A and B are shown apart, each in its own frame.
Chain A
Amino acid sequence: MRAGFVFSEVLTGLRRNVTMTIAMILTTAISLGLLGFGLIVAKLTDETRTLYGDKVQVQVYLTVDQSRSDPDCTGAVCQGLLEDLRGNPDVASVSYESQEAAYQRYLRTFASQPEMIAIVRKEALSATFRVSLVDPQRFRVISQDFTGKPGVLSVDDQSEVLDKVFSLLNSVRNVAITIALIQAFAAVLLISNMVQVAALSRRTETSIMRLVGASRWRTQLPFMIEAVFAGLVGVALAILGLVVAKLTFVDKIFGSIISTGLLPPIDGTYLVFASYWLIPIGIVLSGAAAYATLRAYVRL
């Protein structure tokens, strides 16, 4: 089979069917652009999680009595808590800060504020377990399990802030992916329509091909290439859209949040990551839609 010959068939087909092709390309572009956006937010959520995973620790404060009577955590109560924490599958690591260490840290933190140092009493400070989590989104588990246990004063898990950040990111991602799926459905219908129109407008060619014994595969190939080509143009537009969105919109709006360290920086790797998925998805989407249409509707 000769590539040049097939290619010229494809070009003629696309030109003959230009409005439909444009509609299909734009729908595919919007669909894949949104999907790319969803993928980027998903990755952002992941990276935020790791960002916080390094920083966020759940603090388990021990009661003052417990802190004073067992400063080195050798007693049964303190050891019991430590064992429970270490045995918990959500816990990545635990470190113990004694009352003395807490006091020293307090002194260091407020070294330049003598009035703060004046009011502190070492006996009033709590020893603390600092707990790092495998999945920082599961911070609440620790406070549920450990609040009210003997020897535990309170558990501080910063749940409110984290809840907000993660739920915002998750819902943005879900909305983007939902719209992307609806758009993808529309794109599939348009591809199917495009293929049907193309096949109809080239009935004579295909009927002659059938007559002289061209294989089904050879007869369908130009239509498939046409759809995949249009799909790839859609992918290119989608990626271009994401690049423009990043330069004009994301960098300006999220720039300040990112510089506070609340969100990780959104750089070029996000676009590479999105493209990495969008290109094969675009090819498979358009190719499969065309193939299914040819099988189902078009007699070749």
Chain B
Amino acid sequence: MIHLSHVSKSYKTSTRPALDDVTVHVEKGEFAFLIGPSGSGKSTVLRLLLREEAPTGGRIEVAGRDLGRLRRSKVPQHRRRLGCVFQDFRLLTNKTVEQNVGFALEVIGRPRGAIRTIVPEVLELVGLEGKARRLPHELSGGEQQRVAIARAFVNRPLLLLADEPTGNLDPDTSADIMLLLERINRTGTTVLMATHDNTIVDSMRRRVIELQLGRVVRDEARGVYGVGR
């Protein structure tokens, strides 16, 4: 599903490369954590996969597509096959829950009828039935993140990218969000989650890819966050 081969990335404004010769392969259906301290390059990996940034070197393949050969006009099509959630939820504050989720379908031109049936299904999947008409500020942090996950998942992506999705949540709520991500993973969706939350990583016992200063220092099939933490 994800193939990074000798990928490096240097931002113009910084001297140290954000990623340095990273080689990682994630198979279809896997659930993998991308861990490491702040500044180690986790978000950069996700941005490269989304094709928000282009690598300085190396080769990136997502779902059988070589991103280096992807034409600019094909980038939207590429992103339609991915879902993405962030620490700060990124909801539209003036739209209700169902409008926020429907927005992702509307802007890619899905017909109104399809939206009307798909959105309630997905809201039920993430446990937000009955809250479809609420505005984001009428929801708890955990519920807002569920809306974001619903929006990322509504288009049935092959791959879900999550950048510190529990970063703003308390431990109990975080655990609920992890259950939801697991459930999404069980539908066959590959999940790649960047985090530096050791409790979560340790409790899940999933694959762990650890970055430090832009290099992969560990890649374990059923890992924990690490010793001494």
- Residue-wise, chain B 4-41 has the 8 Å CB interface mask toward A (1 for contact) of 00000000000000000000000000000000000000
Interface size on B, residues (CB 8 A): 22
B interface residues, Cβ below 8 angstroms from A: 50, 52, 73, 76-82, 84, 90, 92, 103-104, 106-109, 112, 151, 155
Query: Bound state CA distance, A232 and B109, in angstroms?
Result: 27
A218 within 8 A of B: yes
| A118 interface residue per 8 A CB criterion | no
Do most interface residues of chain A lie in helix, strand or loop, or is the interface mixed? Answer: helix
Q: Are B76 and A207 interface neighbours, CB within 8 A?
A: no
Q: Which of A123-163 contact B (CB under 8 A)?
A: none
Contact A212 B92 (CB under 8 A): no
A215 adjacent to chain B (CB < 8 Å): yes
How far apart sit A205 and B77, CA to CA, in the bound complex (Å)?
Answer: 18
Q: Mark A210-233, 1 if CB is under 8 A from B, else 0.
A: 111111101100000000000000
A214 touches which of B73, B81, B82, B107 (Cβ 8 Å): B107
What is the CB-to-nearest-CB distance from B71 to chain A, in angstroms, rounded to a whole number?
Answer: 12
Contact of B79 among A2, A211, A218 (CB under 8 A): A211
In the complex the two chains form, is B90's CB within 8 Å of A208's CB?
yes
Q: Told that A210-B76, A212-B155 touch, could you supply 16 new A-B pairs with CB distance under 8 A? A: A1-B109, A2-B112, A5-B106, A212-B103, A212-B107, A213-B76, A213-B80, A213-B81, A213-B108, A213-B155, A215-B76, A215-B108, A216-B76, A218-B108, A218-B109, A219-B107
Q: Determine the chain B residues whose CB is within 8 A of the CB of A212 once the complex forms.
A: 79-80, 103-104, 107-108, 151, 155
Answer yes or no: A209 CB below 8 A from chain B CBs.
yes
A5 vs B112: C-alpha distance in the bound complex, in angstroms? Answer: 10
Say yes or no: A208 contacts B79, CB within 8 Å: no
Residues of A within 8 A of B (CB): 1-2, 5, 204-205, 207-216, 218-219
Least Cβ–Cβ distance between B112 and chain A, in angstroms? 6
Q: How far is the CA of A207 from the CA of B50 in the complex (A)?
A: 12
The docked-state distance in angstroms from the alpha carbon of A213 to that of B52 is: 11
* Interchain residue pairs with CB less than 8 A apart (6): A2-B106, A207-B90, A208-B103, A208-B151, A210-B79, A211-B79
Give B110 Cβ to nearest chain A Cβ, in Å.
9
Q: B103: shortest Cβ distance to chain A, in Å?
A: 7
B76 touches A208 (CB 8 A): no
B73 surroundings in chain A (CB, below 8 A): 216
